[in-house]
Amino acid sequence: MSAPAIRVSNLSFSWPKGDKVLKSCSLEVPKGEFWMLLGTNGSGKSTLLRVLAGLLHPQSGEREILKPVGFVFQNPDHQLVMPTVGADVAFGLVEEKLSTPQIRQRVEEALSAVNLLDLQRRPIYALSGGQKQRIAIAGAIARHCEVLLLDEPTALLDPDSQRELVSQVRRLVNSRGLTALWVTHRLDELDYCDGAFLLENGQVVDRGDREKMQRRMTETQLL
């Protein structure tokens, strides 16, 4: 078996004036798999994702993650910064010193991967919520991200767009060998994952394959 794409062990994190939010938290996500992170509000899911992305620094513990890492936020309006779709996806490439044809090729490849190539010139404001999330994912694909971290990306979507987004990420994981970690509250989204972790009070208290975790979440009615 190859090394995991994400590995954290005994991770602890506290906000400056607050309690410990992550307490000796450990998990591994195998490369090329789609895993989900479950847990009630305030259990530390967003904090853990931010630590994984390197946006927050833990006080102790270890973290290894394949790079580059892409992050998709709950609210795409906090993420998309340029006026048009094509410009936004290209914006993430500014640090890579690519030629103009290389940038064009990366943008087109990424938009094709999320089936939105025909929206390349569309203004961001004219997109639906689900389309915006797919543009955020295209940004990560354009950067050739190995790992996608998605923090409740469907929270603001209607049920159809929700299904479409989760099935799209499933397809991208299969077709491109990406590794994804997806935070959710929604039991039906578990249908698409390879496995899931349950976080409680900053600790991973259970993990398992789709069937096991669906059973557990239904029984305990945590979701």
Ligand X SMILES: Nc1ncnc2c1ncn2[C@@H]1O[C@H](COP(=O)(O)OP(=O)(O)O)[C@@H](O)[C@H]1O
Interface pick for ligand X out of 11, 21, 90, 157 (rule CB under 6 A): 21
* 76 within 8 A of 129, measured Cβ to Cβ: yes
206: which 2 tokens?
């259970």
| Residue tagged 């209607």 (tokens) | 158
CB of 125 to ligand X, least distance (A): 28
Contacts (Cβ under 8 Å, ≥6 apart) of 9: 26, 61, 62
Return d(Cα 182, Cα 202) in angstroms, integer.
17
46 touches ligand X by CB under 6 A: yes
Q: Per CB under 6 A, which region of 2-10, 15-23, 97-105, 173-181 contacts ligand X? A: 15-23
CB of 150 to ligand X, least distance (A): 12
Q: Which does 21 bind (CB under 5 to 8 A by kind): Mg ion, ligand X, none?
A: ligand X
CB of 44 to Mg ion, least distance (A): 8
Interface pick for ligand X out of 3, 10, 42, 112 (rule CB under 6 A): 42
Interface pick for Mg ion out of 6, 33, 35, 46 (rule CB under 5 A): 46
45 touches ligand X by CB under 6 A: yes
78 touches ligand X by CB under 6 A: no
39 touches ligand X by CB under 6 A: yes
43 touches ligand X by CB under 6 A: yes
80: which 2 tokens?
């998309």
- Long-range contact list for 205-213, CB < 8 A, 24+ apart? 207/27, 213/36, 213/38
154 touches Mg ion by CB under 5 A: no
Give which of 209, 91, 205 is closest to 140, Cα–Cα.
Answer: 91
Q: Among residues 45 and 134, whose Cβ is nearest to Mg ion? A: 45
184 touches ligand X by CB under 6 A: no
Amino acid in the structure at residue 108: E
Adjacency order of strands within the sheet including 195-200 = 69-72, 147-151, 179-183, 34-38, 195-200, 203-209
15 touches ligand X by CB under 6 A: yes
Which stretches within 24-84 are classed as H helix? 45-52
Size of the site for Mg ion (CB under 5 A): 2
Q: Which does 41 bind (CB under 5 to 8 A by kind): ligand X, Mg ion, none?
A: ligand X
Give me the residues that bind ligand X (CB under 6 A), please: 15, 18, 21, 39, 41-47
